[in-house]
Amino acid sequence: MALAIHGGAGTILRSQMTPDLEREYRGGLETALKAGWAILESGGSSLDAVERAVISLEDFPLFNAGRGSVFTHAGEQEMDAAIMDGNNLRAGAVAFVKNIKNPVGLARLVMERTEHVLLAGEGANQFAEQIGVKAEPDEYFFTEHRWLQLQEAIAEGRVQLDHANSPPYEGGVAAASADGVVLSDAPPRKPIGTVGAVACDKNGHLAAATSTGGMTNKKFGRIGDTAIIGSGTYADQTCAVSCTGHGEYFMLAATAFDVAARMKYKSLSLEAAAQEAVDYLTTINGEGGLIAVDTSGKVTLPFNSDGMYRGSIAPGGAIEIEIYKTQ
Amino acid sequence: MALAIHGGAGTILRSQMTPDLEREYRGGLETALKAGWAILESGGSSLDAVERAVISLEDFPLFNAGRGSVFTHAGEQEMDAAIMDGNNLRAGAVAFVKNIKNPVGLARLVMERTEHVLLAGEGANQFAEQIGVKAEPDEYFFTEHRWLQLQEAIAEGRVQLDHANSPPYEGGVAAASADGVVLSDAPPRKPIGTVGAVACDKNGHLAAATSTGGMTNKKFGRIGDTAIIGSGTYADQTCAVSCTGHGEYFMLAATAFDVAARMKYKSLSLEAAAQEAVDYLTTINGEGGLIAVDTSGKVTLPFNSDGMYRGSIAPGGAIEIEIYKTQ
């Protein structure tokens, strides 16, 4: 049995953290780990454990998912989430849903109640309404620090992912042309802000779940990697993976599936496969990280950014929580 | 140099085809092949060639993409498309856009004018408007056979993918529950309806593009595999792949990326990797097929359904077009 979680990767520097804030973040991670672990310890499934852990992270206002979601350009909070059951290769996902307290739970309902994998936008909200998922008022999601982030981003004319403090994004090229409009007037800054969980239960069954509030000041119905099976979220009978970072690169690299592919086709260990997948991201200028678990309960949490909110728990209940790079 | 295209896979039986209709389909495929090939022959890029071939297929009303798109439950035509340039690993995609004559062209603009990979829904249409892509009126897309398909699907209470004539879908399970709503009152039938192209140009650069009008009577903002990089569309410096079939399975299997992964990590040939990817789909009850090309200009077009509208063209200009299974 094993459980690992993340609360986003990116520019997370000790110099910008206060002891109080760090304690809050660590508390949020610990609460989520304990919630998921309680399910595994009592014999529950990895699917239930990752959903429970991600719900806990969505409810925690400091992470960019659920309650703490950032604001879009239009001042709305649009959320993406996905969940995948590796044992039977089923998955569900939602993209830019609004007023849903726990998008990961709605993703699970897409998996269990529809013949589809991904529902998006108003249609996904209509589905939620029809199956009786209660909508939360805007006030539930409002957090002042996210609102201030939007005002700042609008003032600076940029799209911003959470934990974004580093130099301008260099890949992908939002090239202005003579007749062109670009998505932002200034280059967006680097990532990130996502939560996720992976678990192996007592039967060796694997599951992964990921949830995000997207990018501050985003426009045009952008869908990132979180809701994309194979990119931000993936689980099969080899491994379960949840990613966080600059989503577009994870989409181009199919990073979550890539970890499984390297294990299956190159016979690599979980750790080696995950490290290779992150190294590949680095070669294409993709910033972020991932958490992964295999059927033996091994866990790995590689990233190429300055930090990643992350934690894991192993039999015996030993909890490990880290934020920065470790030597 | 090489170019291959498809116009969808599924239950395509000789017994249900008239000579006139078959001639029309073959004509549509031939026109698209010639349009794409003219670009490759004059030294153009694989990216331009696949876009041109898919535009030709979108403009041809018998295929379920662009002009021939099927109707959603609400009587609308929502289209998905993606394009990927294997040489520099860039991609663009759109999901459920409306009134766009050539969704593949809009996908390319997402790639070239934004820092994003996937835009969906109204946001994608707003992007199109802002960069000056002209909206076509509903009448342009209206075809009587698609409208009749919707009325029939509504009457029978099912979601239908194009070329769907076989027994009810057995996987994925749209389980009704006590308080549950399911996406369709009767089981949806099997796939399909998509167009796509893959090409290798004189520099050995690869590209892939895919476009679809989705499923007749679909609801809830469902996004299938077409717009998902790694699932329905993928290209890198190893191969380019475009898929067609029951999209949800291609999403769970990350089929397009899987072909590349099996080539890169298992050192398989294009043909062997593509066949393995389709065989894997078969094991999880996924129906459909794919077209793929490698840097040497080899082409393969495997599928596990009764038929796939498909064609390819090789140096010397020899055109091969097939619809049914061949022995």
Report helix angle B121-130 to A121-130, nearest 10: 160
List, in order, residues 6 or more apart from A45 with CB less than 8 Å away.
A39, A201, A203, A205, A207
What is the residue-averaged pLDDT of chain B? 86
> Quick check: helix, strand or coil at residue B82?
strand
Long-range contacts: B258-265, Cβ < 8 Å, 24+? B258/A257, B258/A261, B259/B234, B259/B290, B259/B292, B260/B234, B260/B236, B261/A257, B261/A258, B261/A261, B261/A262, B261/A265, B262/A261, B262/A265, B263/B238, B263/B239, B263/B294, B264/B238, B265/A261, B265/A262, B265/A265, B265/A266
Cβ distance of A222 and B116 shorter than 8 Å: yes
pLDDT in tens, A25-38: 999 999 999 999 99
pLDDT-derived band at A189, boundaries 50, 70, 90: very low
Partners of A211 in the β-ladder: A81, A195
How many C-alpha atoms does B208 have within 13 Å on its Cβ side? 36
pLDDT in tens, A96-151: 999 999 999 999 999 999 999 999 999 999 999 999 998 888 888 777 777 677 67
The distance of A278 to chain B (nearest Cα, Å) reads 15
The distance of B22 to chain A (nearest Cα, Å) reads 32
> Which sequence positions of B are flagged as catalytic?
194
Cβ distance of A220 and B248 shorter than 8 Å: no
Distance of CA B324 to the CA centre of its chain: 18
Substitution target from A116, A126, A246 for chain B, most B beta carbons within 10 A: A116
Average pLDDT of span A299-325: 93
> Quick check: helix, strand or coil at residue A232?
coil
Average pLDDT of span B179-195: 47
Residue of B nearest to A233 (CA): B252
Residue of A nearest to B119 (CA): A222
Cβ distance of B179 and A132 shorter than 8 Å: yes
A135 φ/ψ angles, rounded to the nearest 5 degrees: -85, 140
| pLDDT exceeds cutoff 60 at B264 | yes
The distance of B226 to chain A (nearest Cα, Å) reads 12
Cβ distance of B114 and A261 shorter than 8 Å: no
- Assigned token pair, B45: 């890029």
**Dist. CA B210–CA B243, nearest whole Å:** 7
Residues in A closer than 8 angstroms to B253, CB to CB, are 89
Which fold, B2-140+189-324?
Glutamine Phosphoribosylpyrophosphate, subunit 1, domain 1 (3.60.20)
Cβ distance of A172 and B115 shorter than 8 Å: yes
Cβ distance of B284 and A234 shorter than 8 Å: no
Residues in A closer than 8 angstroms to B130, CB to CB, are 181
The distance of B316 to chain A (nearest Cα, Å) reads 34
Output b/e per residue, A164-203; b: 16+ Cβ within 10 A. beeeebebbbbeeeeeebbbbeebbbbbbbbbbbbbbbee
Residues in B closer than 8 angstroms to A123, CB to CB, are 219-222
**Dist. CA B205–CA B41, nearest whole Å:** 14
Question: According to the model, what pLDDT value does residue A327 have?
Answer: 52
> Quick check: helix, strand or coil at residue A261?
helix
ipTM: 0.88
Task: Specify whether the CB–CB gap between B146 and B217 falls below 8 A.
Answer: no
Substitution target from B89, B115, B181, B268 for chain A, most A beta carbons within 10 A: B115
Domain ranges, ordered by start, for chain A: 2-140+189-324
> Which sequence positions of A are flagged as catalytic?
194
pLDDT in tens, B294-318: 999 999 999 999 999 999 998 787 9
pLDDT-derived band at B168, boundaries 50, 70, 90: very low
Closest CA to B310 of B68, B29, B53: B29
